[in-house]
Structure 1
Amino acid sequence: MIKPSEKHDAPRSTGGSAVSRKLVPYGGYYTNKVPDHDPELTEVGAGTPMGEYLRRFWHPVCMAMELTDTPRFLKILGEELVCFRDGSGRVGLLHAHCVHRGASLEYGKIEEHGISCCYHGMVFDVDGTCLRVPFPQGEEEEGERYRCSIRQGAYKAFERNGLIFAYMGPPDAEPPFPEWEGNFTVADGDELVPYSNFQHCNWLQVQDNAADNYHTMALHAKRQVTGENYQGTTFDEVGAATMEVPPDMQFFPVHGGRSLACAGARRADGEHMHIRVQHQVLPNLSLHAYTSEDGKRKKLFSRFHMIRWTVPVDDYNAKMIGWRVMGPGIDTRGIGDKSMVGYETIDFLEGQVAMRRPERFGDYKLEDMPPIPSDHRARANYKDCQYAPGDYEAIVSQRPIAVHALENPTRFDAGLYMFRKLLRDAVRGTNPKAGPEEFAQWLRDCAGAPNSYCSGNVFELPEAETVEEEVRNRRRLAKEVVAILTASDQLKGAERAEFVKLKFEELEQSFKK
């Protein structure tokens, strides 16, 4: 097993003369050496520490709309696969290369049951069983013996709300599918709308971005756009000015170190404090509160707005794939646009995706989509991206695999470093609770429906008379919000929501005494 040194747990530490060289004016010569990336957390192939850990969880691998009358070629965790829906409606996810002679099943024919290889016509069921070998007449017995001697590599897969999920680990260790809070807390009238965005870089820096709740105040602010080349939905967080306020961040490992609650406190105005709690769950799930909150009205225990997995394609590419929750229950300002959510599209933060061209919106067929550029500098709209960069540019430009040893973090970066440590402890076995076996058992104990810390909250809290008191108030408020969510963890559904809201009301009143 790869055992990189502890230097990867934190940015490079330089002392003595190294520090003085680092601070020399025009001293690029002293800092031009690029160390290796951190293989333990970034490499995902079969047999790697992180690759084996990731394979013990369910992941979305594509959108259901990608399954047409021909097989869909995919690469997930470095493995070449084909996904299809056969004539009986079952979803198959097989190794791409036929076990007979290696021809790719992406050119196969989808059958009523399974898929046939284009090269010699062998048919494989969704579980990898060989159903038919076309031996010549009179040699059927030999053909049957051969049929029983081979099996195509296959993974269990199913559809849920427009996404195809797969489990790629040992079949006898399959965990429950995590139904967070039973229905992902979708309110009446709301729905889970699927989307998938390709990212041309390592999976971990995409996941890091989700734990970096501070960057919105710069990257998504109009003031960061060169020459006021403003791009509508990409900046100002679709009109939510609170997101441009630097948040006071606090981070709390929860669920026995299986996840991280990231609580950010922002002053919305002189009468309201916005507390947004993001929830990062091992190994690659992030649950996001309302992204368009303006903080002008009291709101307690608002739930999921975005549910997203960061799925490695290989060591150098990844997918952001999940659901946007759409509807009046979560989107109280009516900002969302369902028509702009889907394959390589999103209705906010346009810079999250590689393509920004307007023709991608509206009615389209998958085969009509323009190709995703492989080089972020080779795009036709590269200049526009320089004027107004988004998440995609910030993430991808960190190098194909970000080099952690070159980072120099501040206090507000603590969340992503905590999450990396949770990952490392899980992979190494230094936190058994986060290991695959105990994680799966925890899901069973939760009946497959654990509670999330994700919530958006606006408290009626007047601004303090002094800066020192204001800082104390916002930090106490955020900390106690997370404590109340922890105290509610044994409750479910409406009972939990009622408990949390009551305690939040009491917390708000405690500041007014």
Structure 2
Amino acid sequence: MNIKSEKAEGQKSSAAGAVPKKLVPFGGYYTNKVPGHDPELTETGPGTPMGEYMRAFWHPVCMAIELTDTPRFLKILGEELVAFRDGSGAVGVLHAHCVHRGASLEYGAIQEHGIKCCYHGMVFDVDGSCLHVPFPNGEEKEAEKYACSIQQGAYKAVERHGLVFAYMGPPDKEPPFPEWEGDFTVAPTDELVPYSNFQHCNWLQVQDNAADNYHPTALHAGKNVVNGKYQGTTFDEVGAKSMEVAPDMHFAPVQQGRSLACAGARRVDKDRMFVRVQHQVLPNLSLHAYTSEDGAKKKLFSRFHIIRWTVPVDDENSKMIGWRVMGPGIDTRGIGDKSLVGYESIDFLEGQVAMRRPERFGKYKLEELPPIPTNHREREHYKDAQYAPGDYEAIISQRPIAVHSLENPTKFDAGLFLFRKMLRDAVRGTNPAASAENFADWFRANAGSPNSYCSGNVFDLPEAETVEQEVANRRALTKKLVAILTDSEALKGEERAQFVREKFESLEASMKA
């Protein structure tokens, strides 16, 4: 993939031209003009190219604990919505403004079936149909006629493992709900624990971060924490220093360009090699292998540790929402802490969250919904974040919408630039396989449970005698590993896992020979 070509696309889509580059000492004057953002990929409101593409998929919109005895106001893909669970247990996601006169249903009363508008008493079911119009006695037929003439905007919603998902596209084009590998690869001993973290920036720069496998060498390295003021933002704080080693990366579009395999090989010590494969799925899903790997023991084809969607709130806000897989099956070191995972809270790399842990747990319990700070510089723990910045600080400080034409990428940025290109191809229709219609057909062909490339692997591979051979080995290992995963696509479940592990064993043996 040519990074320059995708950068040129970002510049082409910007409202203004690229900033001229002046390599002049103290020459800030020559680079003080900020061009526009890339609307094709960053804007997601109704009618926008990316917004229409995203509406063809299921997205988590809130956590189930956000549904209480009052409606929950939401903003998703630029649309104002309310979510609620009625007395019968049905979950509704409706347009916020009542179709009658526009009052917000966030002030409505939840009914046994549906929700009642506070202003004039119309009652709407979870599918948007009007159940009741409070006309005077004797005018029931007229009320029924009126009720049949209106429909509140509504989206189909489902609950899965503590998250509420909504499909916001045309009803006749609804895709299957994607239950990746049937059970999200969760072992019988483990569970999916939901979480949601608000991000004060555009969705794409949050998603970019997931494909940026090089930033842990700086952002998440203990050596970069100022004055030893650790705050849970580094990998070495959980004994996973191998995650801070600069990896040799191989990025491969897979599944006909519907997703991206990001394979990174790192040397743990002179005897072991750690290869982690992240799986980025269009448009906004990230599947991550074990994040607390210390590489101390051989491990082949370990599966999901984090399942995360980056959901646009509007063009300048988004949220990371998904599940942490908790339990001994995936967390072989017992590092995870379920009591720290939830709404505006996470148990690892704490800097993913706007509200730092002392602020969050000094005032609120896990089951509570604290107010989210609106300005990152006005947070109570702003200075602490300067000592030990995390993903949140790095991502949201790129501006509310990152300006792609100002970027000067290195080869290590290839993954995120490739993912942007894949998004662009999907939106423009230049990759038909990634179109919304063909994506839905692919889900159906896989019974709603496609395979993932996500895996964590520790190989018993001695260090090569020369630096050149070591680099060659790392690069070869990542490519061959992704090729094996591709060869396993036709298999399912344990049959696939056995096939992959046997092939990985053979690969290890061949590289030792």
For the Cα contact (< 8 Å) 1:311–1:321, is it kept in 2?
yes
Question: Aligned ranges for residues 233-312 of structure 1 at < 5 Å?
Answer: 234-236=234-236, 238-312=238-312
Task: Give the 3 Å change call, closer, same or farther, for CA 461–11 of structure 1 in structure 2.
Answer: farther
**Alpha-carbon contact 2:87-2:110 (below 8 Å) kept:** yes
Matches within 5 A, 1:30-41: 30-41=30-41
Structure 2, unmatched stretches of 5+, are 13-17
> What letter corresponds to residue 444 of structure 2 in structure 1?
R
Corresponding residue pairs, total: 504
TM-superposed CA distance for 1:229, in Å, is 1.1
Distance 2:140 2:380 in 1: 57
Aligned 8 A contact 2:199 2:318 in 1: yes
- Report the 3-state secondary structure (helix = DSSP H, G, I; strand = E; otherwise coil) of the residue aligned with 1:377: helix
Quote the residue 2:468 is aligned against: 468
2:503 & 2:185 partners in 1: Cα distance? Answer: 20
Cα distance, 1:7 vs. partner? 5.5
The structural deviation recorded for 1:6 is 7.1
Structural mapping, 1:337-486, within 5 Å: 337-358=337-358, 360-361=360-361, 369-486=369-486
Deviation of 1:234 after TM superposition, in Å, equals 4.6
DSSP 3-state at the match of 2:393? helix
Separation (CA, whole Å) in 2 of partners of 1:62 and 1:132: 28
Aligned to 2:251, what secondary structure does the other structure show? strand
Q: Residues 20 and 30 of structure 2 are in contact (CA less than 8 Å); yes or no, is this contact kept in structure 1? A: no
**Residue equivalent to 2:202:** 202
**Structure 1 residues 237, 246: CA separation in 2 closer, same or farther (over 3 Å shift)?**
farther
Q: Match for 2:71: what amino acid?
A: P
Deviation track 1:268-308 (CA, whole Å, cap 9, x = no partner) reads: 00000000000000000000000000111110000000000
Per-residue deviation, 1:141: 1.9
**Contact 2:235/2:241 (8 A) holds in 1:** no
- Does structure 1 residue 487 correspond to structure 2 residue 512? no
Specify the alignment match of 2:213 in structure 1.
Answer: 213
SS of the equivalent of 2:389 reads coil
Structure 2 residue aligned with 1:156 = 156
Q: Deviations over 1:117-165 (max 9, x none)?
A: 0111110000000000000112222211111110100000010000000
Alpha-carbon distance in structure 2 between the residues aligned to 1:430 and 1:83: 36
Distance 1:118 1:428, change over 3 A: same
Tell me the percent identity: 79
Alpha-carbon spacing, 1:102–1:384, altered in 2? closer, same or farther (3 Å):
same
Which letter does structure 2 place at the counterpart of 1:475?
R
Distance 2:215 2:255 in 1: 26
Look up the equivalent residue of 1:159 and give its one-letter code.
E
Q: Is the 8 A contact 2:95 2:154 kept in 1?
A: yes
Q: Is the 8 A contact 1:8 1:38 kept in 2?
A: no
Contact 2:197/2:320 (<8 A) preserved: yes
Tell me if the contact between 1:84 and 1:93 (Cα under 8 Å) persists in the aligned partners. yes
8 Å Cα contact 1:65/1:162 also seen in 2: yes
Q: After superposition, what is the alpha-carbon deviation per residue over 1:408-446, rounded to whole angstroms, capped at 9, x for unaligned?
A: 111111000000000000000000100000000011111
Instruction: Indicate if the aligned counterparts of 2:263 and 2:482 stay in contact, CA closer than 8 A.
Output: yes
CA shift, 1:336, in A, is 0.1
> Which residue in the other structure is 2:72 paired with?
72
Long gaps (5+) in structure 1: 13-17
Partner of 1:82: 82
Runs of 4+ in 1 over 6 A off after TM superposition: none
- What does residue 49 of structure 2 align with? 49
CA distance in 1, matches of 2:225, 2:364: 31
Aligned partner of 1:142 in structure 2 is 142
In angstroms, what is the RMSD of aligned CA positions?
1.8
Q: What displacement does 1:361 show?
A: 3.6
Q: Is the 8 A contact 1:310 1:318 kept in 2?
A: yes
**In 1, distance between residues paired with 2:20 and 2:363?**
58
CA spacing shift, 1:93–1:366, aligned 2, 3 Å: farther
Asked if the contact 1:11/1:407 (under 8 Å) is kept, the reply is no
